């Protein structure tokens, strides 16, 4: 039992609070809003990174909130999961309800850091939610010598440009505050090369596919079926996506949408809508659609890169970018030219391991 939460998966590894310390082993608190069984893309990536670091000899703990995203069918990670008692409602109907849950999560995180993080530990936090970046102050007060890594999946100052004029006006101030906080972390790992944080402590370790290929199966190139899978949120540029969907429809293609999000309501009525799927059903969806549509971000493409693109490229589907900025198109070309996208996970883990050993 952890103060303010509970520990799952103890059969998968050491207890969450351990006094054992091996020569090169570091206890790493990996922080993300959601972990297994939820299927948030950021959570899945961090679970896989944590398990890779665990295989390299570190003691990894997955620290998350008590809220829920979308449950998915996949193996439980080997790293123990610490679920904090955050009091989150799980409401996602409005930006206000989402922000309130973010605040509840970060408050619980601060208590966790004060109670559990030691000088010999490391903290690896993601930008889910973006408030995590400001956790560095609490870490420094509690454990000034702890090694700190921020895994930057989404860069809020850039993403604000895709929203209302009020958000765009606030972006410069948010950027100043965010960059100041990021600069205090020991290392900032960008999940994609188009993300616009350029502080001296940054490095790039691109994300990786979170699916495994099915032996002997190929994408059905003869099917006239196009796929959009995932969230279609407020920051996505829906207009180019709809234009592409209309063009495919006029050429006799069927278009399937698997996901949700506020802009899903803008899709044409002829688009077949489905709930999120996972496991074998998700793999069947990927392989049965030769064309995978990916939406860009409105006005500014330097805030994030859709990680689902890696799964599409990995299984051999044709990725059609819709509304990608020049930065995002450049990043897509880098990924297309990567010989083995699955190796990106080991690259990221090695960067973390090298940093931990250098700062020991």
> 266: closest CA among 287, 252, 245?
245
**DSSP conformational letter for 183:** T
* CA 37 distance to own-chain centroid: 15
Q: Within the chain, how many helices (H) and strands (E) appear?
A: 10, 13
Q: What is the pLDDT of residue 11?
A: 30
Helix (H) or strand (E) holding 338: none
Neighbour tally for 325: CB within 10 Å: 20
Q: What is the pLDDT of residue 320?
A: 98
Q: What is the pLDDT of residue 314?
A: 97
Residue 175 located in a structural domain:
yes
Q: Are residues 50 and 159 in the same domain?
A: yes
Q: Are residues 101 and 198 in the same domain?
A: yes
As a whole number of angstroms, the distance between CA 220 and CA 120 comes to: 51
Q: What is the pLDDT of residue 257?
A: 98
Which residue ranges in the chain fall short of pLDDT 50? 1-23
Per-residue pLDDT of 288-332, as tens digits, reads 999 999 999 988 999 999 999 999 999 999 999 999 999 999 999
The two structure tokens encoding residue 196: 């616009």
Q: Are residues 13 and 90 in the same domain?
A: yes
Which domain CATH number covers 278? 3.40.50.2000
Q: Are residues 109 and 142 in the same domain?
A: yes
**DSSP conformational letter for 329:** H
Q: What is the pLDDT of residue 18?
A: 34
Q: Are residues 33 and 115 in the same domain?
A: yes
159 lies in which domain range?
A: 5-206+343-358
Q: What is the pLDDT of residue 256?
A: 98
Q: Are 83 and 64 in contact (CB under 8 A)?
A: yes
Helix (H) or strand (E) holding 3: none
Q: Are residues 251 and 347 in the same domain?
A: no
Q: What is the pLDDT of residue 91?
A: 61
**Rounded to whole angstroms, what are the CA distances from 158 to 215, 310, 326?**
40, 22, 14
Q: What is the pLDDT of residue 39?
A: 87
* φ and ψ at residue 58, rounded to 5 degrees: -90, 160
As a whole number of angstroms, the distance between CA 48 and CA 173 comes to: 34
Neighbour tally for 232: CB within 10 Å: 20
Q: What is the pLDDT of residue 93?
A: 56
Q: What residues have CB less than 8 Å from 143, skipping those under 6 apart?
A: 113, 117, 118, 119, 121
Residue 212 located in a structural domain:
no
Q: Are residues 84 and 180 in the same domain?
A: yes
* Burial label, 169 (beta-carbon count in 10 A; 0-12, 13-18, 19+): exposed
Q: Are residues 74 and 165 in the same domain?
A: yes
Per-residue pLDDT of 23-72, as tens digits, reads 479 999 999 999 999 888 999 999 999 999 999 999 999 999 987 777 78
Query: CB-hemisphere CA count at 13 Å for 341?
Result: 24
Q: Are residues 151 and 105 in the same domain?
A: yes
* CA 11 distance to own-chain centroid: 26
Q: Are residues 118 and 175 in the same domain?
A: yes
């Amino acid at each position: 039992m952890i103060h303010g939460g509970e520990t799952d998966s103890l059969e998968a590894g050491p207890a969450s609070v351990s006094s054992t310390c091996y020569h090169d082993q570091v206890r790493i608190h990996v922080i993300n809003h959601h972990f297994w069984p939820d299927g948030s893309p950021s959570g899945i990536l961090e679970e896989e990174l944590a398990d890779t670091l665990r295989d390299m000899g570190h003691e990894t703990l997955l620290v998350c909130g008590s809220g829920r995203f979308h449950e998915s069918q996949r193996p439980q990670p080997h790293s123990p999961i610490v679920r904090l008692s955050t009091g989150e409602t799980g409401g996602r109907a409005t930006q206000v309800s989402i922000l309130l849950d973010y605040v509840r999560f970060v408050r619980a995180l601060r208590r966790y850091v004060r109670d559990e993080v030691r000088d010999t530990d490391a903290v690896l936090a993601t930008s889910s939610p973006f408030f995590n970046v400001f956790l560095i102050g609490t870490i420094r007060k509690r454990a000034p010598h702890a090694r700190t890594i921020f895994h930057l999946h989404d860069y809020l100052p850039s993403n604000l440009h895709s929203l209302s004029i009020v958000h765009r006006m606030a972006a410069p101030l948010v950027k100043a505050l965010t960059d100041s906080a990021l600069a205090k972390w020991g290392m900032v790992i960008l999940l994609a090369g188009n993300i616009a944080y350029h502080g001296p402590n940054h490095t790039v370790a691109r994300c990786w596919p979170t699916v495994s290929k099915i032996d002997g199966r190929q994408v059905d190139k003869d099917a006239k079926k196009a796929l959009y899978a995932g969230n279609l949120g407020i920051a996505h540029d829906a207009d180019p996506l709809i234009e592409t969907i209309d063009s495919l429809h006029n050429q006799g293609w069927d278009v399937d949408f698997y996901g949700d999000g506020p802009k899903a309501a803008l899709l044409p009525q002829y688009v077949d809508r489905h709930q999120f799927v996972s496991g074998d059903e998700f793999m069947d969806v990927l392989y049965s659609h030769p064309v995978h549509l990916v939406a860009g971000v409105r006005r500014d493409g330097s805030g994030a890169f859709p990680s689902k693109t890696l799964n599409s490229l990995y299984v051999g589907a044709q990725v059609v970018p819709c509304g990608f900025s020049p930065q995002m198109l450049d990043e897509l070309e880098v990924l297309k030219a990567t010989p083995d996208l699955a190796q990106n996970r080991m690259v990221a883990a090695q960067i973390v391991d090298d940093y931990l050993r250098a700062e020991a």
